[in-house]
Structure 1
Amino acid sequence: MILTEDKTYTMSLELEDGKNDSGLTNNSIELAFTNKELLHAMLTCSMPIQRLTFPYMEKRRMEVLQKLFMIESALEAEGDRLKKSKSIAYLDSSEKSLISYYMGMFFTKLISGRLFDVEYLSNLNMIRKEDGSGYIDFFNSEWRPEMIGYNFSTDRWSVWEAKGGSNKREQALKKGADQLSHIGLVNGAVPDPSAVCMTYYDHSYLCAVVREPQKKDGEPLKFSHEEFFRSYYRTVCELFQDRGAGLYFHNGNAEISLTVPYFPQENREPEERCIRVGMPGVLLQYLMNEDYKAVEDLFRNNKEFSCPADSYMGTDGIYIR
């Protein structure tokens, strides 16, 4: 697939509710989304391994290239459906698992926003402790949930575990439910929802399932709003700070232009294309000043922002065109 082509895709999605003792109840829907929505989810979904290195020239542009390469290599389009690409069949199973892991996170970001109004979703291990002394080390990495979500309009926290694989695996869904059960409260409130989101293939077509398991008593998790928003916007901030990104301003917005190659199979010089990423200038100013209280107030006051007509703007103020 070519994710920079303007197109609308659909995927089958199962919603499984197991929050009571009556067993799982299922609801199947067809989820439609545009290429720009998926680009937005991809760009704003951080890759935890990047925490290992300090910012360096073009670090975040290279991260965008890696993410884009993963999606376009793993998937191919058939009409408005996405299928498993035959081009990665030769990869070792561990290499496929790595791609599936990140695919699961990208689509969890998209699905949680579209269906559960989760405006922000950040990796748990990207959030610093409340006193700023280091990152949250809440669980053994194998048994902690993946992501923390937040909804401004309801002041609601949510907990998410992202899974990805070749098929729908009950064992993986149950493990995800066990991971979710380790968190009982987020900043003093019961997470809503607390869900496992798995992407998988059915007859080679990309599908997803979201399961909300029965809640169990877990441990409390606490962090500041400031550190949560810092973790969410960190990737985009560093992308805007990169001198090679070509920052410019127009109509009250700040925008960067990322030149990225196509990824041809043949041995030839790759052609280039452009992804433009923008946000309101006032938001960028607050982010660069690390004034996350002002960022929070900006969105809590429901300020309306404009963006170019050919753009998709997320509820986080970041747009793609």
Structure 2
Amino acid sequence: MILTEEKTYIINVTEVDTDAELGLNKKDIMIKYTNLELLHAVLASTMPYGRLSARYRGKRKAELQSRIAMVESVLETRGDQLAKAEQIMYLDTAERSAICHYLGIIYTRLIAQKLYGIDCMVPLNLIEQPGEKKFVKYNGAYRQDLIGYGKQNAWSVWEPVGRSENSQAAFGNGCRAASEIEKINENPLAKSAACMTYYERGYLNAVVKEPERTGDGTLWFPEENYFKAYYQPFFELFADEQPGELYGSSGGFELELTLPWTEEGKRGFRHLQIGTDPVTIALMREGKYDQILKRMENVLDLSKECRFCGEDGIWVGAE
């Protein structure tokens, strides 16, 4: 598949009711999404990762280029759906596991935004504790739950599950983990769910289950640390540019990322644009990350300019 190719895809998502017994009470939903919406999900899912290695100029670009190449290599287009590419079968078990893990995160992000209006998602173990360089724990352990945020303090907990040899066991574990947390900063959760991506007859599908909550746990973290975990990597991406390389477009600023072709026989390069408005750039520069999303009232409609602007105020374009 080619992520920079203008196209609309569909994915079948099965919703399982909270009180469904034996998975019998289901609802199938067909979600439509564009290549730019998928690119935005890849971008937003890539940014919080890669914290272990030292910072260096161009690191964020390299991470994003690698993740895009991965998605393009392991999925192929069949009509208006995406399917498992044959070459994934040549990878070893560890590589396939890592790919399924990241695809699960990317599609959890996309589905949560499309169906439930989740504006941001951040891994719990990348939110800093107050005044420390350590990260938030739950019950004394580091966990990889995705913490979602929607408008009006609509917090949610998501457990992404990628296709694996033990998918059903992993999905069950994800449901149990999602059921343990009841509140975030004294706010009752708007939603807690496990989201599993899997292949059916080779086609990519997903199932979302909101289990009955069995725990009464509360997560605590400063909201500003949550938004810092989400937006700081974006600022690092923009800050990697030399002065003057950010150019004005669509009422804001963009950087351009060069992508090699992953399709055989194609030569030359493609171009990905990533942008945001001047006020967001200024807030990033001042470290006021918690003010960015809260000032977003209307997402920019940039469709005529071949751009898609996410609810987080970050837009992407491709050519």
Query: What is the TM-score with the length of structure 1 in the denominator?
Result: 0.90
**Preserved CA contact (<8 Å) 2:48 2:122:** no
> CA 1:177 to 1:306, structure 2 compared with 1: closer, same or farther past 3 Å?
closer
Residues of 1 paired with 2:96 and 2:267: CA distance?
24
Q: CA shift at 1:23, angstroms? A: 5.9
Q: Does 1:319 align with 2:315?
A: yes
User: How far is 1:185 from its partner?
Assistant: 1.6
> 1:140, CA displacement in angstroms?
3.4
Deviation of the 1:168 alpha carbon: 8.8
Aligned match for 2:219, one of 215, 218, 221: 221
| 1:172 to 2:170 alignment | yes
Q: Using the alignment, how far apart are the partners of 1:270 and 1:238 within structure 2?
A: 30
Distance 1:293 1:68, change over 3 A: closer
Q: 1:259 maps to which residue? A: 258
Deviation of residue 17 (structure 1)? 1.4
Residues 168 and 200 of structure 1 are in contact (CA less than 8 Å); yes or no, is this contact kept in structure 2?
A: no
Worse-matched range after superposition: 247-256 or 63-72:
247-256
Structure 2 residue runs of 5 or longer lacking an equivalent are none
Deviations 1:270-297 (A, max 9, x none): 5211000111111111111111343244
The amino acid that maps onto 1:50 is G
The equivalent position to 2:285 in structure 1, one of 282, 285, 288, is 288
Name the structure 1 match of 2:158. Answer: 160
Structure-to-structure mapping, 1:228-243, within 5 angstroms: 228-243=226-241
- TM-fit CA distance, 1:265: 4.8
1:21, distance to aligned residue in structure 2 (A): 7.1
Q: Give the distance between the partners of 1:194 and 1:241, measured in 2 at CA.
A: 35
The one-letter code of the counterpart of 1:161 is: E
How much has 1:260 moved relative to structure 2? 1.1
In the alignment of these two chains, the number of paired residues is 313
Conserved 8 A contact 1:15-1:27: yes
- Report deviation, 1:243: 2.3
1:275 pairs with 257, 272, 275, which one? 272
Give how far 1:219 is off.
2.2
* Contact 2:119 2:311 (8 Å CA) reproduced: yes
Question: When the two structures are superposed, what TM-score results if normalisation uses the length of structure 2?
Answer: 0.91
* Matched position secondary structure for 2:161: strand
Q: Retained in 1: the 8 A contact 2:159–2:194?
A: yes
How much does 1:22 deviate? 5.5
SS in 1 for 2:187: coil
